[in-house]
Amino acid sequence: MTETFKSVWDALETDPAERESMKIKSRLMMDIERCIKKQGLTQKQAAQKMGVTQPRISDLVRGKINRFTIDMLVNMLARLGMHVEVTLQDAA
């Protein structure tokens, strides 16, 4: 029998708290990458704008999710001129 999941994190993480954290981090990381591309920034330019090093941007682009906190990702988005809002839902 094949099991289906709504998200890759639903399949990989058994701890609900860690699963939600990973979902949020991955979404924020994808949003940062989209903003960088939309603004036409190089990794170096993006790093300067966000107050981090170019290797941090490289880690982000390569999906090294465990190297980032939600706080750091929110700060990076704010420095790119983005506003982050949080929506809560009851767990299914």
Tens-place pLDDT, residues 29-56? 999 999 999 999 999 999 999 999 999 9
Q: What is the CATH number of the domain that holds 23?
A: 1.10.260.40
Place of tokens 């999710």: 65
Please give the residue range of the domain that contains residue 72: 13-79
Q: How confident is the model at residue 7 (pLDDT cuts 50, 70, 90)?
A: low
Q: What average pLDDT does the structure give for the chain?
A: 88
Q: Count of domains in the chain?
A: 1
Is the pLDDT at 16 greater than 90? The verdict is no
Please report whether residue 50 resides in a domain.
yes
Give 35-69 as a DSSP string. HHHHTT--HHHHHHHHTS-HHHHHHHHTT-GGG--
CA dist 46 and 42 (Å) reads: 6
From 32, 4, 9, 27, select the one nearest 19 (Cα to Cα).
Answer: 9
Is the pLDDT at 6 greater than 70? The verdict is no
Please report whether residue 60 resides in a domain.
yes
